[in-house]
């Protein structure tokens, strides 16, 4: 038996000072929700889904309601989830009508022979699976509109909000990972990033561990970030060293920033980011650990 861990991130980006408290509150709440699912007998996949759903509901994060907007002013959501026991995965992209793409991705994993469905097909699938559609306007916040206005003025994604994710190992060493995003502010209509892609945004393998990525999507997918971290662990790095090496490697090579959270199948934790901030939180051994600034590591009793 190993000590179970639920580790979440709220995106690697330049979180403004005014959002720091709300962001930390959000990742702590999500990690607790995931851990409670594990404690009450849920699977690693159940815990990932529950934690990510809570971040999708929280408008301080770029996922679900509060997602960054594309050039047409729409929230267009993407997500992926993977189960480490058998590598089964579900991914969705170009989602405009459902507030919880992580749950839709899980249905792709469980109910289809496919791994990845996008756009109109994903919408039809969601309807068939009984998901309630919501008006697009319910996903769009004033802060996201303001972020898009800033992008259109400056022409750069600069401080664009980014992505949420969760990695879990249960007491039997089964791992799972999930990632959810609205992508980058001012993205082209039809642009797809790293977050819904296995090996880039998400990876989970019981033989090694689980990863969720965040940051500049085009760089993450060129670098195959999530699977690069897994490969480093396969050759002997612990979760922290693998995360640090690959995040720094991606930033050195592609000159763009990002972050990742990692858990090994033994319960070792790793997280790293080259952005100004990344909110993260994990629960392990009845303690809650969290932070947002570089080298910050705070701890509370659970
Ligand atoms: N990392 C999220 C995106 O670039 O789409």
Q: Half-sphere exposure of residue 13, counting CA atoms within 13 Å on the CB side?
A: 26
287 Cα: distance to centroid of ligand 1 (angstroms): 30
In angstroms, the CA 85 to CA 68 distance is 33
Summarised one tens digit per residue, pLDDT across range 142-159 is 999 999 999 999 877 666
101 Cα: distance to centroid of ligand 1 (angstroms): 15
176 Cα: distance to centroid of ligand 1 (angstroms): 20
Closest CA to 210 of 8, 19, 75: 8
Number of H helices, E strands in the chain: 8, 13
In angstroms, the CA 20 to CA 242 distance is 27
The total domain count for the chain is: 1
Q: Which residues contact 185 (CB under 8 A, 6 or more apart)?
A: 68, 69, 144, 147, 148, 150, 151, 157, 160, 161
Ligand 1 nearest atom to the CA of residue 183, by list position: 5
Lining residues, ligand 1, CB within 6 Å: 162-163, 181, 183-184, 193-195, 214-217
Ligand 1 nearest atom to the CA of residue 213, by list position: 1
297 Cα: distance to centroid of ligand 1 (angstroms): 25
pLDDT of 161 reads: 85
Ligand 1 nearest atom to the CA of residue 258, by list position: 1
Closest CA to 8 of 25, 31, 26: 31
* C-alpha separations of 167 from 31, 34, 129, 156, 241 in Å: 10, 10, 25, 30, 17
30 Cα: distance to centroid of ligand 1 (angstroms): 20
Closest CA to 183 of 139, 226, 230: 139
Ligand 1 nearest atom to the CA of residue 217, by list position: 4
Nearest CA to ligand 1 atom 4: 217
Nearest CA to ligand 1 atom 5: 183
Summarised one tens digit per residue, pLDDT across range 33-92 is 999 999 999 999 999 999 999 999 999 999 999 999 999 999 999 999 999 999 999 999
Q: What is the CATH number of the domain that holds 142?
A: 3.60.20.30
> Is 5 in a helix, a strand, or coil?
strand
Phi, psi values for residue 215, rounded to 5° = 125, -155
Per-residue pLDDT of the chain (302 residues; tens, 9 = 90+): 899 999 999 999 999 999 999 999 999 999 999 999 999 999 999 999 999 999 999 999 999 999 999 999 999 999 999 999 999 999 999 999 999 999 999 999 999 999 999 999 999 999 999 999 999 999 999 999 999 999 999 877 666 789 999 999 999 999 999 999 999 999 999 999 999 999 999 999 999 999 999 999 999 999 999 999 999 999 999 999 999 999 999 999 999 999 999 999 999 999 999 999 999 999 999 999 999 999 999 999 98
User: How remote is the C-alpha of 141 from its chain's centroid?
Assistant: 20
Q: Which residues contact 197 (CB under 8 A, 6 or more apart)?
A: 80, 91, 116, 221
Mutate to test the pocket of ligand 1, among 215, 226, 274 (most ligand atoms within 8 A of CB): 215
In angstroms, the CA 247 to CA 223 distance is 10
Phi, psi values for residue 195, rounded to 5° = -60, -35
Domain residue limits at 118: 5-301
Q: Which residues are catalytic?
A: 163
In angstroms, the CA 209 to CA 296 distance is 24
Say if residues 86 and 125 touch (Cβ distance below 8 Å). Answer: no
Mutate to test the pocket of ligand 1, among 163, 213, 251, 260 (most ligand atoms within 8 A of CB): 163
For 116-181, the three-class secondary structure string (H helix, E strand, C coil) is EEEHHHHHHHHHHCCCCCCCHHHHCCHHHHHHHHHHHHHCCCCCCCCCEEEEEECCCCCEEEEEEE
Say if residues 86 and 109 touch (Cβ distance below 8 Å). Answer: no
């Amino acid at each position: 038996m190993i000590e179970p861990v639920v580790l979440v991130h709220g995106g690697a980006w330049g979180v403004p000072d005014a959002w720091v408290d709300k962001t930390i509150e959000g990742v702590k709440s999500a990690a607790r929700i995931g851990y409670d699912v594990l404690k009450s007998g849920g699977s690693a996949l159940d815990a990932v889904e529950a934690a990510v759903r809570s971040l999708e509901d929280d408008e301080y994060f770029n996922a679900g309601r509060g997602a960054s907007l594309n050039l047409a002013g729409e929230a267009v959501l993407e997500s992926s989830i993977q189960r480490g026991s058998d590598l089964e995965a579900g991914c969705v992209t170009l989602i405009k009508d459902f507030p919880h793409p992580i749950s839709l991705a899980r249905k792709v994993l469980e109910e289809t022979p496919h791994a990845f469905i996008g756009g109109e097909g994903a919408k039809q699938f969601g309807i068939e699976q009984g998901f309630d559609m919501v008006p697009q306007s319910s996903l769009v916040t004033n802060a996201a509109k303001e972020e898009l206005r800033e992008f259109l003025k400056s022409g750069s994604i600069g401080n664009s909000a980014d992505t949420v994710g969760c990695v879990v190992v249960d007491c039997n060493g089964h791992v799972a990972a999930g990632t959810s995003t609205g992508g980058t502010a001012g993205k082209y209509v039809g642009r797809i990033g790293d977050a819904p892609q296995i090996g880039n945004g998400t990876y989970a393998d019981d033989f090694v561990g689980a990863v969720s990525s965040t940051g500049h999507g085009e760089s993450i997918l060129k670098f195959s970030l999530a699977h690069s971290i897994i490969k480093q662990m396969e050759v002997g790095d612990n979760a922290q060293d693998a995360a640090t090496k690959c995040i720094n490697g991606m930033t050195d090579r592609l000159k763009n920033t990002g972050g990742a959270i990692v858990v090994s199948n033994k319960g070792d934790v790793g997280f790293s980011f080259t952005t100004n901030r990344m909110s993260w939180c994990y629960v392990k051994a009845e303690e809650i650990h969290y932070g947002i600034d570089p080298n910050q590591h705070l701890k509370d009793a659970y």
